[in-house]
Amino acid sequence: MSSRERILGRVRRALADVPPGEDGPVERDYLREHGERTVEETVDLLAENLADYRAVVHRTDPGSLPRVVADLLAARGASTVLVPSGLDEGWLAAAEVTRVRDEATSTPHELDQVDSVVTGCAVAVAETGTIVLDGSPDQGRRRISLIPDHHICVVRVPGQVVASVPQALERLDPARPLTWISGPSATSDIELDRVEGVHGPRTLEVVLVR
């Protein structure tokens, strides 16, 4: 018996005593967001929660974005950067780095040798301090945001910012490869000591571009 069959069997047994017609759809009248906020307050909440998860938050405008990205890469000492196929080339216009393309043939070892990765995002959730990637051309394959040790993620403000998870889900295609990121990769499984960079980047920098 497969795990799927085992789980479905438990569901059937749990519903065995439910009279016909009483197993209707679940009501979803829960709050879609907590409290009322202006657009500016929502963006501020996103920045606050990102920082609370130990992401490094920067704010800029489109004209200054290439300089900001270049400065972040230089401060990191990055000489190579992974580039999704659909990333706006202008974002890296001021950076003096070797660009490594996101290719299906790249091995995990090869990706591990790259210093940084720059991506866009699909949506950012203010209440949870979460950015979501969905594999779109400016975000690339899921693995390129999980293997390099330094991730720069560009979020367009306010268009890509929503208040809550329900609002984010309305914008996302569940059939796409979704990656939900709340701060740098970390775990406290071993003796409750926080260790960063275990199954993703040790450093996450989010650039909010208005």
Least confident of 10-14, 66-70, 198-202: 198-202
Residue located via tokens 């069959």: 5
Cα–Cα distance for residue pair 189/83, rounded to 1 Å: 32
Amino acid at 11: V
DSSP class of 141: -
User: Given this model, what pLDDT does residue 172 score?
Assistant: 97
* pTM of full prediction above 0.95: no
pLDDT tens per residue, range 39-50: 999 999 999 999
Average confidence (pLDDT) over 117-122: 98
User: Given this model, what pLDDT does residue 110 score?
Assistant: 92
pLDDT tens per residue, range 162-195: 999 999 999 999 999 999 999 876 666 666 766 6
Residue 153 or 202, more confident? 153
Flag whether pLDDT at 118 surpasses 90. yes
For the chain, the domains span: 37-209
User: Given this model, what pLDDT does residue 200 score?
Assistant: 73
Cα–Cα distance for residue pair 192/164, rounded to 1 Å: 29
Percent residues over pLDDT 70 in the chain: 91
Average confidence (pLDDT) over 78-99: 96
Query: Among 168, 134, 154, 157, which Cα is nearest to 206's?
Result: 154
Cα–Cα distance for residue pair 4/32, rounded to 1 Å: 31
DSSP class of 61: -
Cα–Cα distance for residue pair 34/96, rounded to 1 Å: 43
Tokens of 121: 């995002």
Tokens of 198: 């275990």
CB 121 within 8 A of CB 140: no
Least confident of 8-22, 130-144, 145-159: 8-22
* Helix ranges (DSSP H) in the chain: 3-14, 39-52, 65-76, 108-112, 165-171
DSSP class of 27: P
CATH number belonging to domain 37-209: 3.40.50.10420
User: Given this model, what pLDDT does residue 201 score?
Assistant: 86
Cα(first)–Cα(last) distance of the chain, in Å? 53
Amino acid at 148: P
CB 119 within 8 A of CB 133: yes
Tell me the average pLDDT of the chain: 91
User: Given this model, what pLDDT does residue 89 score?
Assistant: 93
Tokens of 170: 């309305």
pLDDT tens per residue, range 7-25: 999 988 888 887 777 666 7
Flag whether pLDDT at 107 surpasses 70. yes
Percent residues over pLDDT 90 in the chain: 73
